[in-house]
Amino acid sequence: MNWVIGKKQKRRNRIKAQFGKNPMELEAWESLEKRMREIRMYEELVVQDVKKEEWQSAGSVDTVTWNDLEMDRVFARINHTRTYMGEQILYHRLHNMQTRQSCEDMEKRISFFSRRESIRTEIEEKLMRIGKQKESCYLPFFLTEEINPLVIPGAILYFLQGLLAFCLIGAILLRSNLWATGFLVVAVVNLLIYLHTKCKYEGNLFMVSSLKELFDFCNWIVKKLEPDRPEILHALEKTQKLSHRMLRWQTRKYQSISGDVTGILWDYIAGITLHDVVAFYRIQKTLRACKKETMQLYTFAGEIDMEIAIASFRKSLPQWCCPSLQSDGAISVEEISHPLMADAIPNDFVLKKGVVLTGANASGKSTFMKAVSINVILAQTINTCVAKNMKMPAIQVMTSMALRDDVLQGESYYMREIKYLKRMLDELKTGEPMLFVIDEILKGTNTRERLAASNAILSYMVQKQGFLLIATHDLELALQIADKVWMMDKENGVTIGTPEDLSLNGTLSNFFSRKGIMFDQNTGLFKINNEYSVKMHLEGHGQKYAMVRKALLRNGILAGREIESD
**Backbone angle region of 466, left / alpha / beta, with phi > 0 → left and psi within -120 to 50 → alpha:** left
Q: Check the CA dihedral 122-124-125-130 and report its sign.
A: positive
What's the rounded Cα separation, in Å, for the pair 355 and 360? 17
Under 8 Å between Cβ of 385 and 379: yes
Closest CA to 467 of 562, 341, 349, 359: 349
Under 8 Å between Cβ of 137 and 156: no
Q: What secondary structure letter does DSSP report for 144?
A: H
> Which residues of the chain fall below pLDDT 70?
1-5, 47-58, 145-151, 200-206, 247-264, 360, 405-410, 444, 446-447, 474-483, 490-493, 506, 508-531, 566
What's the rounded Cα separation, in Å, for the pair 505 and 535? 31
Under 8 Å between Cβ of 288 and 147: yes
Residue type, 396: Q
Under 8 Å between Cβ of 297 and 246: no
Under 8 Å between Cβ of 440 and 430: no
Give every strand in the sheet of 324-326, ordered side by side: 324-326, 389-393, 331-336, 347-351
Element (DSSP H or E) covering residue 557: strand 557-560
Give the pLDDT score at 443.
73
Buried b (16+ CB within 10 A) or exposed e, 442-455: bbbbeeeebbeebb
**Helix 211-225 crosses helix 230-238 at what angle (to 10 degrees)?**
140
What's the rounded Cα separation, in Å, for the pair 224 and 356? 53
Listing DSSP states for 442-509 in one string gives: TTTS-HHHHHHHHHHHHHHHHHSSEEEEEE-S-HHHHHHH-SEEEEEETTTEEEEE-HHHHHHTTHHH
Give the pLDDT score at 163.
87
Under 8 Å between Cβ of 376 and 354: no
Give the pLDDT score at 382.
95
Q: Is 545 exposed, middle or buried (0-12, 13-18, 19+ CB in 10 A)?
A: middle
Give the pLDDT score at 51.
45
Listing DSSP states for 67-94 in one string gives: HHTTHHHHHHHH----SHHHHHHHHHHT
Question: What residues contact 485, with CB distance under 8 A and at least 6 apart?
Answer: 355, 356, 357, 358, 478, 479, 496, 497, 498, 499, 502
**Backbone angle region of 442, left / alpha / beta, with phi > 0 → left and psi within -120 to 50 → alpha:** left
- In the chain, count H helices and then E strands: 26, 14
Listing DSSP states for 22-45 in one string gives: -HHHHS-HHHHHHHHHHHTHHHHH
What's the rounded Cα separation, in Å, for the pair 464 and 290? 47
Predicted TM-score (pTM) of this structure: 0.82
Query: Can you give the length of the chain in residues?
Result: 566
The angle formed by the CA atoms of residues 366, 372 and 377, to the nearest 5 degrees, is 125
Find the distance separating the first CA and the last CA of the chain, reported in whole Å: 100
Give the pLDDT score at 148.
58
